[in-house]
Amino acid sequence: MAVFKFVVGSKKGKCYQIEKEQKECEALFGRKIGDTFSAGLIGLEGYELKITGGSDKDGSPMRPDLNGTVRKRIVLTKGIGFSGKKLIRKKVVKIKGLRRRKMIRGNTIDKDITQINCVVVKEGATPLDKIIAPKEKEAKPAEEKKKEEPTKEKEEKPKDEKPKAEKKENKEAEEKEEGKKEEKGKPAKEDKEEVKHDK
């Protein structure tokens, strides 16, 4: 089943993201932009939220003036779904009266909606920081543990590599010594060979 991502804006101007499965939030199906609902559905006891917008699985924004759960390509001037700007010669230009045909989603929540934007209308007893932040902190230590395990392995590898490096240096030194011995012996043989050719 799909997941709803709630973006909750507090009165202080901070935004919080909460993810809930659609099975848990079936009471929201059929609600429109501008409707209020009890935030107990998403785990915020005592809070009341107002729906301000959202988007569907393809990223099409919900528009308050388009009724129903439909998805349409409509001609838009400036507003939700179109900024009223155009790219001309690598510059963004604002043109008066510019219109574009864009894909828009209706104002009613449906199973195809993935993100719901909300604003706090009535605050509960406990602040949002204390309700939502602890959940995030619990998730972070688990991620940190996973990150620490690979770093330990990386630290162990260089220790193993040092003896190998020493062995390589020893081998190189031995090869150099052998090379010097061979060089000392070679000139004498070459001189003998040259003597034989002269005869």
Taking the CB of residue 105, how many other CB atoms lie within 10 A of it? 27
Domain boundaries, the chain: 3-73+103-125
| pTM for the predicted model, two decimal places | 0.62
CA distances from 197 to 107, 111, 146 (A): 103, 97, 74
What is the C-alpha separation between 159 and 21, in angstroms, rounded?
A: 47
Using DSSP, state whether 56 is helix, strand or coil.
strand
H-assigned helices in 42-127: none
The first and second tokens of residue 52, run together, are 């301000």
What is the C-alpha separation between 199 and 187, in angstroms, rounded?
A: 19
Per-residue pLDDT in tens (0 to 9) along the chain, 199 residues: 578 899 999 888 888 899 988 888 888 999 999 999 998 888 888 899 999 999 998 889 999 989 999 999 999 888 888 888 888 888 988 888 889 899 999 999 988 999 999 999 988 888 888 887 665 555 566 666 666 666 555 555 555 454 555 656 666 777 766 666 555 555 544 444 555 554 4
